[in-house]
Structure formats: structure tokens, C-alpha cells
Chain A
Amino acid sequence: MTYRPPAAPDPAEKPQIGTSAHDTIRRAGKWRGPTYYGRSQLKPAPFNTWVVGGYIALAGLSGAAAIIGAAAEATQGRAGRPTARRARYLSLLAPTLGSALLIWDLHTPQRFYNMFRIAKATSPMSVGTWILGAFMVPSFVAAAAQFVADRRPNLHWPWRLAQAAQMPAAIAGAGLCTYTASLLAATSTPLWAAAPQSMAVRFGASSIAAGAAALSLGERSGRSRRALDALTVAALTAELAATMQSHRSYEARGVEESLQGGWGTVEKLGVTGLGVVLPLGLALARSRSPLGALAVLAGSYMLRVAMMEAGRISAERPEVSFRFSQPENLPARTERSLVPK
């Protein structure tokens, strides 16, 4: 005899299918089922939001700087060198300060080197350790060669060495911009698990925007600054699109509730308003003030902090966890019939 799942009250409002073209997003209802005496079903990540959020922002900034430096040098040759030079020094933030923040956040920091015992594709924490390690080597080589080139401008080899190390740094840098989103998505924390793809696009685009904005602050060449500002606009546009897609997924999967408190306001007004819309507006108005670039950098940090804090809320609140872990959110349709209705 096969088991018969128990009959229980409808756990959630029926998903509403929008009638107007404006409202075609499926909105998940609130959790109406039981909780275990109101206790959390999940445990939130024991990461220090400000420290790990800072690392994620620095990793993105450094990775993006490496990519932009490579682009400037590869396409502009000698004229791109000042941009590449600043990019190489900026890229040192993740391997130095960033690594220190990561080790600081370990609960047994004296054993940090155990991260290098193995490489594990199913754990982005392990993948990321190796990406950071792979970034560290060429970015240090490029910066050290740049340091020599700055002091001995007539020597050719430091420039060549710096340029040779720039490409591997840029490739590892692309991983550094994105793996952190994969790390958060590959948990059971509802808000992070609800939109893996759009969150990763958001993190990646925010990283490129932050890198371009930071480099444009120090840029003296008008041409390179135009290129950096245009890149910032492109990245912010991508981030805005990914943000909208994320919110659609949050609503469809019933985790939007975790973004309704103070951190949700930070996410909307601080991250998207100040960090994306304001700089886009300033760029449209052809503003030459550094305000836009500073807002991009602040928004990039706030994005990570707000996502970590709102994620914590989503894991702590059982009504969000249970709403998210309903069969309709399973990736495979065949499994959705398994769970008692």
C-alpha cells in the first residue's frame, strides 16, 4: 500500500495569474501554514555582514579593475598604460585587504590554510579560494612589475611583464567578480537561493561598474575617461535589468517579504536609487562631477551588505523559509507532486 500524504489546509494563497499585461508576474501568496512554535527552520550564515560584504565588494572591484586594465592596454597600447597602471594597483585590494577580511571572518582563523587542502567544485567557498589564489599570483606580479616600471621608466621588461601578467589576472578577475554570488546562491538561505542567475548578473555588473567608476575618478585622459564612463553606464544598465529580474523571482518564489523591512529599503533606495539610478541620471545629464562614481562605489558595497542582511532575515523567519521550500519552487516539475498538499 502506498502512503497517502495527510490532508492539510491550503498552505498559501493560490498563485495569482495577472490579467493585465502589466501584471503577468506570478505572485506567491503569504505563508498560511503552520510553523514550529514560530522558531526558525534554518540557521542564518554566521558571516559578519560588514566584513564579508566588504570582501565581496573589494573582490568585485579588484577583479573588474584587472579586466579594465587589460582592455585599456590591449586596445590603446602605450596610451592605455596610465589606466592599466592604476588598475594594477587597484587590483591589489582583494588579495591584500580582501584576504585579510576573509581570514578575519573565520571562526578558527589560525587554520585558514586548510582552505587549500582540497579543491571542490560543489563548494563555491572552495572554488572561490582557488579563484582568489589564481588572481593573487598574476595581480601581484603585474603590480610588482608596474612598481619597477614606475621607478625605471626606461626599462622595457617591467612593462612587458606587467602586460603579460595582466591577461591571466583579468581572467581570474572575471571569476572574482561573480563567484561570490554563486557562493550565496548555493546555500539554503531563501533570498539567496531564490534568484541565483539574476543575483550573479547583478553582482558581476555591479563589480564592473564599481571598477570603471573607481578608475574614472583618477583618470586624466579625456578619451579613457569617456570609455570608463560609458562602461559604467553599460554595467549599471545591466545591473538595473538584473535587479528587476531578481525582484520578479523573489515575488514569484515568495521571499519578497524578507525585503520589506529596513534592509529592503536600503536595497531599493540605497543600492538601486543611489547606486544605480542616480549615477545613470548624472551620466545622462553629462555631469563631470565625481559624485556619480562615488555613488556607484557606495551602491556596490551596499548591494552586498543589504543582500547579506536581507538573506539573514529570510533564513531566520520560518514563514519565509516554509513559503520558499514549497514544491512549486522545485526546479523539476516531476517532483512537485510529491509533497502533501
Chain B
Amino acid sequence: MQQDICNGCGYCVPACPFGVVDLSPVDGKAHKCTLCYDRLKGGLEPACSKSCPTDSIQFGELGDLQQRATRRVDDLHALGVGSAYLYGTPGAPGATGGLGHLNAFFLLTDRPERYNLPAAPTRPSNRVAPALAAGLTAVAGLALAAFALFAAEAPRTSARRRIR
């Protein structure tokens, strides 16, 4: 979010498949977690992962984290926790509908809905083109109908003049 640019149109709020972004009634701008941008600039990890006493929140390069999480799931399966799985890694639940992968992903042990996560989210912008195409086709058809109907009702004199 660029707080000096955002004009608070609010379109990002319903666009988010995870219900994360919201508008602030205080400053009229959209906000979400910035991963502690100021700390990142100073070479520090986000405050949440830094302070987490059980390392439940981890921060790092996405590829490293995905590898670590996959190993952890394997360990858990070996320990008998067969319900463990990843949400948001490539090819897993949460990375559906054109999303590819999520930059914040989770190791879960129950249905995604238990954690207030959608089982199969989709990329909203995939629906831009189908909607526009269908709507414009309908409007173009009705515009042609308008031309035809007005032509059919054209007064004879002007019609004859156009032909000549």
C-alpha cells in the first residue's frame, strides 16, 4: 500500500479472497500488513516473527520456507499426524484459481475453513475479461438492433434522399 497515493476507493477490500485488506475510518485509506516494511529496510525481520516464542511464524525467502515446511509436513506424517498439509504452496489448497502460490502460507491440520481460509480461492482479475466480453457482446447486439429499428422507422423522404 502506498499511503501517500491511496485515495480510498476501497476496491481492494472486496477483491481480496482472504478478507485481509480493509479501509481505515480514521485516515480513509486502505491498510494491510506491510511485513514491517520499516524493519525490513533496516535488515530486520517483521516484529511478529521476531517475537513469536514458538517460531510458529517464520519469515524468510519463500523457496527456503516452502522447503522447510515440506520437510516439517513429512516429519509430522512420520510422527503420526497424518492430517498435516500445506495451504498456499504451489499445487496445494489455497493456491488455486490462477493464484499459483501464496506469499504467506500455512501448515494446517484441519479443513481450511477451520482457520477462516477459503478452500479454493480464485484470482478475481480472471473474471474481468469474461464479464466485459459478454456484456459488450450484448450491448453491441442491442446497438445493432437500435440501428435496425431506427432505420426501419426512418421517414420515407429522408430515406429516399440518402439512397440518392
Interface residues in chain A, defined as those with a beta carbon under 8 Å from any beta carbon in chain B = 1, 3-8, 11, 33-36, 39-47, 67-68, 71-72, 74-80, 83, 105-109, 111-112, 114-115, 117, 121-125, 127, 170, 174-175, 177-179, 181-183, 185-189, 192-193, 196-201, 203-205, 207-208, 212, 223-224, 226-227, 230-231, 234-235, 238, 242, 311, 315, 318, 321-322, 325-327, 329-332, 335-336, 338-340
A-B contact count (CB 8 A): 307
For residues 1 through 48 of chain B, which have their beta carbon under 8 Å from a beta carbon of chain A?
A: 5-11, 13-19, 21-23, 27-29
Q: Please list 24 pairs of residues, one from A and one from B, whose beta carbons are closer than 8 Å in the complex, sorted by A's number.
A: A35-B116, A40-B19, A41-B117, A43-B13, A47-B10, A67-B139, A76-B151, A76-B158, A106-B10, A106-B28, A107-B10, A122-B128, A186-B124, A188-B122, A197-B130, A198-B134, A200-B132, A204-B136, A234-B145, A325-B17, A330-B96, A338-B96, A339-B93, A340-B111
The answer to whether A315 and B14 touch across the interface, beta carbons within 8 angstroms, is yes
From B27, B85, B139, contact of A204 by CB (8 A): B139
The answer to whether A117 and B5 touch across the interface, beta carbons within 8 angstroms, is yes
Q: Is B119 part of the contact surface with A, judged by Cβ < 8 Å?
A: yes
A143 to chain B, nearest CB (A): 20
The answer to whether A186 and B120 touch across the interface, beta carbons within 8 angstroms, is no
How far is it, in angstroms, between the C-alpha of A6 and the C-alpha of B121 when the chains are bound? 18
Which chain A residue shows the least CB distance to B8? A107
Which chain B residue shows the least CB distance to A338? B93
Q: Is B77 part of the contact surface with A, judged by Cβ < 8 Å?
A: yes
Q: Is B155 part of the contact surface with A, judged by Cβ < 8 Å?
A: yes
Q: Is B52 part of the contact surface with A, judged by Cβ < 8 Å?
A: no
Which chain B residue shows the least CB distance to A122? B125
The interface size bin for chain B is 35 or more
How far is it, in angstroms, between the C-alpha of A269 and the C-alpha of B160 when the chains are bound? 46
The answer to whether A338 and B135 touch across the interface, beta carbons within 8 angstroms, is no
B93 to chain A, nearest CB (A): 4
How far is it, in angstroms, between the C-alpha of A174 and the C-alpha of B28 when the chains are bound? 32
From B14, B128, B145, contact of A42 by CB (8 A): B14
The verdict on A108 contacting B138 (CB below 8 Å), with A67-B143, A75-B154 known, is: no
The verdict on A203 contacting B135 (CB below 8 Å), with A330-B122, A340-B111 known, is: yes
The answer to whether A189 and B19 touch across the interface, beta carbons within 8 angstroms, is no
The answer to whether B146 and A114 touch across the interface, beta carbons within 8 angstroms, is no
The verdict on A322 contacting B147 (CB below 8 Å), with A42-B19, A204-B138, A339-B96 known, is: no
Interface residues of A, dominant DSSP: helix
Which chain B residue shows the least CB distance to A211? B146
The answer to whether A3 and B84 touch across the interface, beta carbons within 8 angstroms, is yes
The verdict on A182 contacting B131 (CB below 8 Å), with A46-B10, A335-B96 known, is: yes
Contacts of A5 in B (CB 8 A): 85, 93
A54 to chain B, nearest CB (A): 16
Contacts of B104 in A (CB 8 A): none
Which chain B residue shows the least CB distance to A325? B118
How far is it, in angstroms, between the C-alpha of A67 and the C-alpha of B93 when the chains are bound? 46
How far is it, in angstroms, between the C-alpha of A205 and the C-alpha of B113 when the chains are bound? 38
The answer to whether B154 and A327 touch across the interface, beta carbons within 8 angstroms, is no
Which chain A residue shows the least CB distance to B24? A107
Which chain A residue shows the least CB distance to B108? A6
